[in-house]
Amino acid sequence: MKTAVIVFPGSNCDRDIAVALEAVTGVKPAMVWHGETALPDGVGLVALPGGFSYGDYLRAGAVAARSPIMRAVVDAAERGLPVLGICNGFQVLTEAGLLPGALMRNEGLDFVCRDVALTVANAQSAFTSRYGQGETVTLPVAHHDGNYFADAETLDRIEGEGRVAFRYVGEVNGSARKIAGVLNAAGNVLGMMPHPERRIEMAHGGFDGRRMFEGLLETVGA
Amino acid sequence: MKLRIFVTLKNGVLDPQGKAIHKALEGLGFAGINDVRAGKLIELDVADDTSDAGVDEMCRKLLANTVIENYRVERA
The rounded distance, in Å, linking the Cα atoms of A94 and A11 is: 17
> A62 and B17: CB-CB below 8 Å?
no
Q: What is the pLDDT of residue A221?
A: 77
Of A94, A102, A106, the CB nearest to B16: A106
A103 neighbors A112 (Cβ within 8 angstroms): no
For B21-47, give one letter per residue: b (16+ CB within 10 A) or e: ebeeeeeeeeeeeeebeebeebebeee
Query: What pLDDT band is residue B76 in, cutting at 50, 70 and 90?
Result: confident
SS3 assignment, position A24 = helix
Query: What pLDDT band is residue B16 in, cutting at 50, 70 and 90?
Result: confident
For the domain with range A3-220, which CATH number is right: 3.20.20.70, 3.30.160.20, 3.40.50.880, 1.10.1740.10? 3.40.50.880
Q: Report, as ranges of residue numbers, the positions in chain A whose pLDDT lies below 50.
A: none
Q: Where are the domains of chain A?
A: 3-220
pTM: 0.94
Contacts of A104 in chain B (CB under 8 A): 13-14, 16, 68
Region B4-23: mean pLDDT is 92
Q: What is the pLDDT of residue A222?
A: 54
Region B5-22: mean pLDDT is 92
A116 neighbors A97 (Cβ within 8 angstroms): no
Interchain CB contact of A70 with B (< 8 Å): no
The domain tally of chain B equals 1
Query: How far is the CA of A102 from the CAs of A130, A145, B29, in angstroms?
Result: 27, 9, 35
Region B35-53: mean pLDDT is 96
Q: What is the pLDDT of residue A104?
A: 94
Angle at Cα B36 formed by Cα B32 and Cα B39, nearest 5°?
155
